[in-house]
Chain A
């Protein structure tokens, strides 16, 4: 509470029980993770497959229920499932998500304008004119023109689709925007456009970001703080600059050292890698 924390996560834990063969076995996907995100702060959650970063993200947006621990957004607890539709909508409005693949996250038969309008109708009490003005404003903010707003997703490029996904998320006026590998599938030249856009939006609206990513250069570009996860555990937590310039945990050092760059040579850790 206080100190302008919009997102508080305390001792969060998620255990999955294995069904079928190997029954009774438990997998701890997220193990005792705590952090806070201040208003306007951008936090990165970094890790490889199996690190628990996606499970963490799914709990933050309410797609998974934590086994134990506490999540609060703007002071309101959301560790347990919403009991009423109004409560579910409120939670949805406060935390929005942009997914990795802009080709599967949009309805192919709905125009961006109609898709954004739907979000506005759901969350706010506005007239059709007010909504149309807001759709145009959001389009403007993410760099989509009128023609693109009224085209079907099939006619849009990957970068344009990701702009639609961002506009749709912003339409709910969320406090926290969860970016789940949101630029990972974009070409370098388009990725730069979207990263600049995300920086502009944060500067203009004071929104907070939680970026789930495996790309340390992207993390550096748009986040202030970073959590490094390995097998469900947050092994290092600090400012993004400290973590990338002076990683302390061996796993963070390994991640940092695995990124190709000037003078980089691939390393063979063992003849028998158990990856």
Chain B
């Protein structure tokens, strides 16, 4: 619920991003024409199934793509052109511009180094902070993410901490360099639901207290709906819909979003049969010509595959479907039937 959103320039502005990666020895597209903006203090959700390109989008923003990736388009961050940064500027950008947290904290910590080393490394090496001061700040930040006995934790190794605890350490590490944008890639997927609730609340508090911008990647539409201002839905490397998170769960505009909502089992009612989507999710390079979702879409017409679909405004939202206005009443009826009884 941002009060005056239109005035501020976006902190992050991704425009016409295309990424190709070497897959099986061939350059293949994995991200196709992705544009998105995030303002300071704003949380934007990026939702999609595996292979939709959501993690690759975050990696492109962090300049962490695999070697050999071919990137086209522009990424600008607070006026800096991210794709043109040299090594020194890039280090600065990754220190106080952005920070990233991942799904599996154990895969992103060094098992033979203590939590204290891990937390204070950036401060000591990139910011020239003295060790005792770095430790003091680490303990204070741990307290911010709900770990009170920080001094003891600094002496521990990753294996001595539970998954939820270690993810909090990851968040603390991300915050210590005081970034303006947090890229959170499924940070709660591997956690228990009660821990997820706790970690999400911490992220939400930090966003409000620090004016931190966040790109929140998840496969859970309802989780994105609960904590993001806006959500983008990705399919086969493209954004197919962008709208307010509240609207996404009740009033989807793209047939894919509606199909995803209808396919979920519900917590408050048993469906006679789940409305499964035929086929399987596609990667960008496997997608058919024209609309990438066309081969699984019940509203497909010959035109849909004949022409390239563009992300275009519809009301206050964006949608990449030529029949969006036409099918809207049907999609709305479908999602009303599928849910929102809670």
Chain A residues within 8 Å of B, Cβ to Cβ = 48-49, 157-159, 187-193, 195-196, 199, 214-218, 220-221, 241, 244-245, 254-273, 275
User: Does A264 contact B226, Cβ atoms closer than 8 Å?
Assistant: yes
User: Does B263 contact A191, Cβ atoms closer than 8 Å?
Assistant: yes
User: Does B164 contact A260, Cβ atoms closer than 8 Å?
Assistant: no
How far apart are the CA atoms of A37 and B147 in the complex, in Å?
42
Question: With A191-B263, A192-B265 as given contacts, are A48 and B274 in contact (CB-CB < 8 Å)?
Answer: no
Q: Which of A188, A216, A263 meets B267, CB within 8 Å?
A: A216
Interface string of B129-169 (1 = CB under 8 A from A): 00000000000000100111100000000000011110010
Task: Name the residue on B nearest A197 (C-beta).
Answer: B276
Question: With A159-B280, A275-B198 as given contacts, are A188 and B164 in contact (CB-CB < 8 Å)?
Answer: no
Is the CB of B324 closer than 8 A to any CB of chain A?
A: no
Task: Name the residue on B nearest A190 (C-beta).
Answer: B280
User: Does A199 contact B273, Cβ atoms closer than 8 Å?
Assistant: yes
User: Does B194 contact A258, Cβ atoms closer than 8 Å?
Assistant: yes
5 tightest A-B CB contacts, nearest first: A266-B200, A48-B192, A192-B276, A221-B265, A266-B201
User: Does A196 contact B198, Cβ atoms closer than 8 Å?
Assistant: no
Is the CB of B264 closer than 8 A to any CB of chain A?
A: yes
Which B residues are in CB contact (< 8 Å) with A49?
Answer: 162-163, 192
User: Does B265 contact A268, Cβ atoms closer than 8 Å?
Assistant: no
Task: Name the residue on B nearest A244 (C-beta).
Answer: B267
User: Does B281 contact A261, Cβ atoms closer than 8 Å?
Assistant: no
How far apart are the CA atoms of A221 and B263 in the complex, in Å?
12
User: Does B219 contact A188, Cβ atoms closer than 8 Å?
Assistant: yes
How far apart are the CA atoms of A194 and B199 in the complex, in Å?
30
Question: With A187-B281, A193-B276, A259-B193 as given contacts, are A264 and B222 in contact (CB-CB < 8 Å)?
Answer: yes
User: Does B277 contact A189, Cβ atoms closer than 8 Å?
Assistant: yes
User: Does B198 contact A266, Cβ atoms closer than 8 Å?
Assistant: yes
Question: With A188-B263, A262-B342, A275-B162 as given contacts, are A270 and B49 in contact (CB-CB < 8 Å)?
Answer: no
User: Does B49 contact A188, Cβ atoms closer than 8 Å?
Assistant: yes
How far apart are the CA atoms of A217 and B199 in the complex, in Å?
21
Chain B residues within 8 Å of A, Cβ to Cβ = 49-50, 143, 146-149, 162-165, 168, 192-202, 204-205, 219-220, 222-223, 225-227, 249-250, 259-260, 263-271, 273-277, 280-281, 339-340, 342
Which of B168, B266, B267, B339 neighbours the largest number of chain A CB atoms within 10 Å of its CB? B267
Which of B165, B202, B227, B265 neighbours the largest number of chain A CB atoms within 10 Å of its CB? B265
User: Does B266 contact A217, Cβ atoms closer than 8 Å?
Assistant: yes
How far apart are the CA atoms of A157 and B286 in the complex, in Å?
14
Which A residues are in CB contact (< 8 Å) with B281?
Answer: 187, 189-190
Which A residues are in CB contact (< 8 Å) with B268?
Answer: 220, 244-245, 261
Which A residues are in CB contact (< 8 Å) with B199?
Answer: 266
Which B residues are in CB contact (< 8 Å) with A260?
Answer: 220, 222-223, 225-226
Which of A157, A255, A271 neighbours the largest number of chain B CB atoms within 10 Å of its CB? A271
How far apart are the CA atoms of A215 and B192 in the complex, in Å?
10
Which A residues are in CB contact (< 8 Å) with B267?
Answer: 216-217, 220, 244, 256, 259, 261
User: Does A262 contact B275, Cβ atoms closer than 8 Å?
Assistant: no
